[in-house]
Amino acid sequence: MNRERLTITLADAILRKIDSIIDNQTIRNRSHAIEYALGRFFLPRATKVVVLAGGAGVHMRPLTYEMPKALVPVHGEPLLGHTVRALEAAGLEDMTMVIGTLGKKIREHFGDGAPYSVQTAYVEDKKENGTAQALAAVRGKVGAEPFLLVYGDVLADIDWMDFIHFHHAHGGLATMAVTNVREPKTWGVVAMDGTRVTRFVEKPNGGATKSHLINAGLYVMHPDVLAMITPRMRSLEEELFPTLAAKGELHGYHFSGKWFDVSTPAVYERALKEWRAR
C-alpha cells in the first residue's frame, strides 16, 4: 500500500483517544493509530461472505451421519447459525455458502437467509476435493472487493469489522485470523514478523514448534487470490497459504476471544461448556 507523509495538528482530546488504541502489537505508534482510525471510516469494507460448509465431518460421527457438521447444535442453534447471526450483527449480510455432503439440509435450514436477516446463495461443491477447490467454486461471485472467508465449523468471538479494517490497513492479498493455543501441532502453525506471516505449516510433523499461533479458519481475501488456485490444488492450508506467506502477501490478525474448531467430539464438548453467544 503506497503512503504519503503528512504533518497534522490534532486537539489534545483527540490525541488522547488516538494514544488509547496503541497496543504495540496491532497498533504500533501514533502514525499507525491515525491511519487505522481513518481507515475504519474511509476504506471500503468487505461486503460479501463466503462460507465453506461442505465436508463429510468424519471425525464428528455418529452426529454427522444424518446432519452436516455445520448444523450440529450448540445451545439450541446450529453451529453455523451462531456465525451467521454474528456476521449479520456486524452488518455483513451478503453470503454465499459452498455446500457438499448433506448440503441439502443446510439449504433447507438457512433458505434464502431470511430467517437470519441475511441474503444467502449456494454453490455446490460436488467433488469435494478439498478447501482450495471449494473456494475456487465461487469464482465470479465475490465481486472486485475483498471478501470474508469463513469455515462453517468454526465458532469465534471476533470483531468482524475490525478484522476487515485491519486487512485494508495492512494490504496484502490475504489476512488470516490467528489465535493462541497450548498444543499447536494439530492445526496450521503461524510464524509472524510484526503483522506479516513469514511461514505457515499445516499440522507440523514431529518436534516442538516455537510458535503457539495458529490459523483460526477465518480470512479476508482479495479476489486475486482465486486466480492462484490451480485445478490440481487441493488444500488452502498446505498449498496456497505457504505460497502467500513466501511472497509476503499474507498478514495475521491476532484476536484473543473464544475460539473453537468444532471438528472432533472433544472440541464439541468444550464448546458446549464454554461458548456463550453475544
Contact 167/197 with Cβ under 8 angstroms? no
Q: List the one residue out of 93, 101, 56, 50 whose CA is nearest residue 226.
A: 50
Q: List the one residue out of 235, 234, 237, 233 whose CA is nearest residue 217.
A: 237
Q: List the one residue out of 8, 226, 207 whose CA is nearest residue 96.
A: 226
In sequence order, the 6+-apart residues with CB closer than 8 A to the CB of 130 are 233, 234, 235, 236
Kindly state the cell numbers that stand for 94. Answer: 451478503
In three-state secondary structure terms, 177 is strand
CA distances (Å), origin 79, targets 68, 225, 271: 10, 27, 10
Report, as residue numbers or ranges, the catalytic residues. 203
Q: What HEC string does 8-49 produce?
A: CCCCHHHHHHHHHCCCCCCCCCHHHHHHHHHHHHHCCCCCEE
Cα 121–chain centre separation: 19
Quickly tell me which residue has 488452502 as its cell. Answer: 236
